[in-house]
Amino acid sequence: MNPTTPNPQPATNDTGNARQRPIGVFDSGVGGLTVVSALRRLLPSEEIFYLGDNARIPYGNKGAATVERYSFELTGLLLAEGAKAVVVACNTATALAVPRLQDALKVPVLGVIAPGAAAAVAATRNGRVGVIGTHATISSGAYERALRKLSPGLEIHAAPCPLLVPLIEEGLLEDPLTDQHIARYLRGLLEADIDTLILGCTHYPLLKEAIARQAGPGVRLVDSADNCALAVRDLLRSAGLAAPETHTGTLQVALTDASDRFLPVVERALGLRVGDVGLRRVQGVALAGSV
Ligand code: DGL
């Protein structure tokens, strides 16, 4: 392991029944609640602990080493909450950190890119798939690799859409300004005759309707949230970690900055009640011991 990378390990090896422990989910902010919403719908018995790094958002224009370090720090905090599995509900962090997290951790780690790619491969009819995401996600080539692994012959067209996250965070979900940006970002993909578009950022499902309008009826939108939830269900079942079905799961949300103006926008858009929000200090977290 890179010596500059904190070294997370479960703080709760002795928590008794692992099945009752929470699924730990993290994102650069509260956009990853789109994945939580899908998890809550599919897995109502599961406890979920969500951590949003809103003190350091956006990740999408940061370098790989920084995003990797942040991802290890957040994972360390989730393990300290007793997470039995870690879901990286951020495409940027998935693209830049999931392989290293998977190598380093004892608990299962799941990102959003593989499930999104699988859904796109199942959806496309003409073999031309578009991907939109942050600069970091698109330039990592992670979606191309995941798609080609499943279907080597696909024609893939990727476009970074850096202004969409700020527009979403301002709550401009239905706004001519947002429509204009979407139209501009999608132009090249639509000219390439894609029939499937991966929303490769966990914020983008909040713009699904606006994107669908610009993309037109011939383009299927693939959002990795539902597919990620299905992958989490399968993974927990196969690892014997699924919560007992008689249990009613709860959602706990913590952020790294006390103030988040975007949270009410997400709650309204998703119909998700978050309740009291905890605060976690992330900078300078020291994680000792070996994994
Ligand atoms: N939620 C992040 C993602 O899925 C986008 C926001 C950011 O740039 O941090 O890539």
Is residue 2 assigned to a domain?
no
Last residue of a domain, one of 209, 224, 239: 224
Q: Are 225 and 190 in contact (CB under 8 A)?
A: no
Report H helices in the chain: 33-42, 64-80, 91-104, 113-123, 135-140, 142-150, 164-169, 176-191, 208-215, 224-238, 263-270
Is 0.85 topped by the overall pTM? yes
Torsion of CA 98, 103, 107, 109, to 10 degrees: 20
Known catalytic residue: 90? Answer: yes
Q: Identify whether residues 63 and 120 lie together within a single domain.
A: no
pLDDT value at position 7? 46
Q: Which residues in the chain come in under a pLDDT of 50?
A: 1-7, 10-16, 286-291
- Rounded Cα–Cα distance for residues 186 and 5 (Å): 37
The total domain count for the chain is: 2
Q: Cα–Cα distance between 114 and 268 in angstroms, integer?
A: 28
What type of residue sits at position 173?
Answer: L
The pLDDT of residue 64 is 96
Pocket (CB within 6 angstroms of ligand 1) = 27-28, 31, 57-60, 90-92, 133-134, 137, 165, 201-203
For residue 31, what is the domain's CATH number?
Answer: 3.40.50.1860
Interacting residues of 163 by C-beta distance below 8 A, sequence separation 6+: 181
Q: Which residue in 23, 48, 90, 199 is the catalytic one?
A: 90
- Given a contact cutoff of 8 angstroms between Cβ atoms, the answer to whether 145 and 114 are in contact is no
Strand 251-255 and strand 48-52: the pairing is: parallel
Ligand 1 mean position, distance from CA 240 (Å): 31
209 and 84 inside one domain: no
Structural domain includes residue 288 = no
The range of the structural domain enclosing residue 210 comes to 113-224
Q: Are residues 106 and 144 in the same domain?
A: no
| 161 carries an active-site annotation | no
pLDDT for residue 284 = 58
Q: Do both 206 and 232 map to the same domain?
A: no
Whether residues 85 and 159 share a domain: the answer is no
| Alpha helices by DSSP H, 25-105 | 33-42, 64-80, 91-104
